[in-house]
Chains A and B, each alone.
Chain A
């Protein structure tokens, strides 16, 4: 983890790649280039990338792209994907309408 916490570490400049236009997060339409650029702008954790770009905050809640984003960020940082901490898992795990979320059902004994 220490390498990840050392934000002074040099990871080099952003170098454009041929497939930077490839969409990675389908729900929020975030491209590979945007994710790689975000790392070079200082987003070194998956949580930061998520909040910065909204990758993984759409309908599937990162079920499809989570692993892909992790791989791209890890490669950019020069670490193994398993070294990166996953984004926080919190309620609700699935997208839910606010009117449902707020409708607590009581007394169904």
Chain B
């Protein structure tokens, strides 16, 4: 039986981070993962991450995965793929199915980082081919290059539902609607706004009652729900779709922790009770990432590093003092991600009406996925009249932990402040040169450059564009408003990109002057939808 100082189960963001941290401290580390590729869900995340520079904000998830893998390689971590950990036993023994045999391994410490699985919601027809988890759709698109369908209904408006819907559109799939049984959108407003301005409708307080079809999905029926989430008769609506994606939350995959005999508690599913460093009730058995409670990849990576360091301390590789210093820095970093309206402690809250700064939250955003023009003007990133000529309009109106815009502007026009969750504000005396760095840096694609003094009677709007093909200079079409409706004709005057923008194109369109605060997306041709 081969022995390692640390065995990590799961090669996702948490597991790999823990492995790297422990190996860098000097431990012999092996990671086992049942999948053919490492990285967990990271390699499916083609969007830019939120956070600050130290949280690798504005870097696309799959690139963070590549970095992590490289670090694992350099630090001497052994990554075993196609290796299913079948059992966990006393004294740090595990059994692993690899190929047509079963191997035994022993770890002085073991770290479980098995992540989570998607929740399902049963309805008439939910077992038909074409009904799938949003994560499954993401796997098909982003790992295998296959469209899951041609027209999709997304059930669930949390960040997973919103992000996957946008990626479906990027993959050339139509999104018929995003629905949610809750009365308001669950995920970040900026994610919803990206969909709304392309014309995706949101139906809140709605549920799916039926997926139609005999051997595959040929349509879906949705209906409004009452306060007890029961469908209201007579409100049914038919949608022409061939795919239904379910994004109604995740459950921790904690079977191994239960099998090991960890004391468990309830946190969106059964999770092991842990101390502040991720150690379970069994000494030497740690957990990190979603298996200990659903969060997201950035916090999973920090949690993994904390647990990896704790394992290194346990084996004597990290002196107590050094460990405490490291752990407290990591916990401070994690703490920053745990602030704001969507923090774990505010999860599911629907009673918030103002931001930390006292700005009234947009109800249109929560109910329809976009800001109304009047609401936009009230926020510090979009207040009108601050600077003439070209200037940024920041449509970021919720307290989320993210601040790359602040670092992006070389002239200090944009200020978030020390508190990463604060709303970005455009400085009174901002001297915008129109470089567009802020537009490219915003992971929420919520910053636009508006130039009201372009030419007499016209204005230009520069927006972040992440679709193919990129409209060429001179392309004529229409500008869409925040709600996805056509507001005016528009012409592309520039499509700028650079390596560091990593695929984001700064698309500048010319619109009539009075449309500069209405036009937020460009569509080639004479679209009318």
Whether the pair A103, B255 counts as a contact (CB closer than 8 A) is no
Whether the pair B97, A92 counts as a contact (CB closer than 8 A) is yes
Q: Which chain B positions have C-beta within 8 A of A88?
A: 258
Bound form: Cα–Cα A60–B119 in Å = 13
A89 within 8 A of B: yes
Whether the pair B258, A94 counts as a contact (CB closer than 8 A) is no
Known: A82-B266, A100-B102. A24 touches B122 (CB 8 A): yes
CB distance from B246 to the nearest CB of A (A): 10
Whether the pair B84, A22 counts as a contact (CB closer than 8 A) is no
Bound form: Cα–Cα A51–B124 in Å = 26
B95 within 8 A of A: yes
> Interface segment, A5-13, A37-45, A63-71?
A63-71
Bound form: Cα–Cα A104–B120 in Å = 36
CB distance from A92 to the nearest CB of B (A): 4
Bound form: Cα–Cα A39–B364 in Å = 45
A interface size (C-beta, 8 A)? 30
Question: Would you give the 0/1 interface string for B339-383, flagging 1 where the beta carbon is closer than 8 Å to chain A?
Answer: 000000000000000000000000000000000000000000000
Whether the pair B117, A63 counts as a contact (CB closer than 8 A) is yes
Q: Which chain B positions have C-beta within 8 A of A67?
A: 119-120, 251, 269
Mark out the residues of chain A between 50 and 81 whose CB falls within 8 Å of any chain B CB in the assembled complex. 63-68
**Interface size bracket, B side:** 20 to 34
Whether the pair B101, A19 counts as a contact (CB closer than 8 A) is no
Whether the pair B270, A86 counts as a contact (CB closer than 8 A) is yes
Whether the pair B258, A101 counts as a contact (CB closer than 8 A) is no
Bound form: Cα–Cα A82–B468 in Å = 46
A105 within 8 A of B: yes
Known: A63-B117, A67-B119. A101 touches B102 (CB 8 A): yes
B172 within 8 A of A: no
Known: A67-B251, A86-B258. A96 touches B84 (CB 8 A): yes
Whether the pair A100, B100 counts as a contact (CB closer than 8 A) is yes
A1 within 8 A of B: no
Known: A92-B97, A93-B256, A94-B97. A68 touches B103 (CB 8 A): no
A23 within 8 A of B: yes
B87 within 8 A of A: yes
Q: Which chain B positions have C-beta within 8 A of A63?
A: 117, 253
Mark out the residues of chain B between 91 and 141 whose CB falls within 8 Å of any chain A CB in the assembled complex. 95, 97-98, 100-104, 117, 119-120, 122-124, 126-127
Bound form: Cα–Cα A24–B86 in Å = 25
Q: Which chain B positions have C-beta within 8 A of A100?
A: 97, 100-102
Closest B residue, CB atoms, query A108: B103
Whether the pair B2, A92 counts as a contact (CB closer than 8 A) is no
Q: Which chain A positions have C-beta within 8 A of B101?
A: 100, 103-105
Bound form: Cα–Cα A63–B122 in Å = 14
Q: Which chain A positions have C-beta within 8 A of B123?
A: 22
B452 within 8 A of A: no
Q: Which chain A positions have C-beta within 8 A of B100?
A: 99-100, 103
A32 within 8 A of B: yes
Q: Contact check: which of B104, B120, B256, B269 meets A89 at CB < 8 Å?
A: B256
Q: Which chain B positions have C-beta within 8 A of A96?
A: 84, 86, 97, 102
B34 within 8 A of A: yes
CB distance from A73 to the nearest CB of B (A): 14
Q: Which chain B positions have C-beta within 8 A of A91?
A: 86-89, 95, 259
CB distance from A89 to the nearest CB of B (A): 4
Whether the pair A93, B87 counts as a contact (CB closer than 8 A) is yes
Whether the pair B97, A89 counts as a contact (CB closer than 8 A) is no
Which of A88, A108, A109 gathers the greatest number of chain B CB atoms within 10 Å? A108
Whether the pair B251, A93 counts as a contact (CB closer than 8 A) is no
Whether the pair B120, A108 counts as a contact (CB closer than 8 A) is no
Q: Which chain A positions have C-beta within 8 A of B34?
A: 94
B217 within 8 A of A: no
Whether the pair B266, A93 counts as a contact (CB closer than 8 A) is no
Known: A64-B120, A86-B258, A100-B102. A92 touches B86 (CB 8 A): yes
Bound form: Cα–Cα A93–B251 in Å = 16
Whether the pair B102, A105 counts as a contact (CB closer than 8 A) is yes
Closest B residue, CB atoms, query A29: B127
Q: Which chain B positions have C-beta within 8 A of A104?
A: 101-104
Q: Which chain B positions have C-beta within 8 A of A92?
A: 84, 86-87, 95, 97
Q: Which chain B positions have C-beta within 8 A of A89?
A: 255-256, 258-259
Whether the pair B2, A108 counts as a contact (CB closer than 8 A) is yes
B85 within 8 A of A: yes
Which of B34, B88, B98, B269 gathers the greatest number of chain A CB atoms within 10 Å? B269
Question: Would you give the 0/1 interface string for B405-420, flagging 1 where the beta carbon is closer than 8 Å to chain A?
Answer: 0000000000000000
Closest A residue, CB atoms, query B97: A96
Closest A residue, CB atoms, query B121: A68
Whether the pair A22, B119 counts as a contact (CB closer than 8 A) is no
Known: A89-B255, A94-B86. A103 touches B124 (CB 8 A): no
Whether the pair B86, A68 counts as a contact (CB closer than 8 A) is no
Bound form: Cα–Cα A6–B89 in Å = 33
Q: Contact check: which of A19, A68, A94 meets B124 at CB < 8 Å?
A: A19
CB distance from B407 to the nearest CB of A (A): 41
CB distance from B69 to the nearest CB of A (A): 24
Known pairs A91-B87, A103-B101, A104-B101 / 4 extra A-B pairs, C-beta < 8 Å: A22-B123, A23-B127, A64-B120, A67-B251
What are the 4 closest A-B residue pairs judged by CB atoms, nearest first?
A91-B87, A92-B86, A105-B101, A89-B258
**Interface pairs (22), CB distance under 8 Å:** A23-B126, A32-B122, A63-B117, A64-B120, A68-B122, A86-B258, A88-B258, A89-B255, A89-B259, A90-B87, A91-B259, A92-B86, A92-B87, A92-B97, A93-B85, A94-B84, A94-B86, A96-B86, A96-B97, A99-B100, A104-B102, A109-B2
Give me the interface of B with A, judged by CB distance under 8 Å: 2, 34, 84-89, 95, 97-98, 100-104, 117, 119-120, 122-124, 126-127, 251, 253, 255-256, 258-259, 266, 269-270
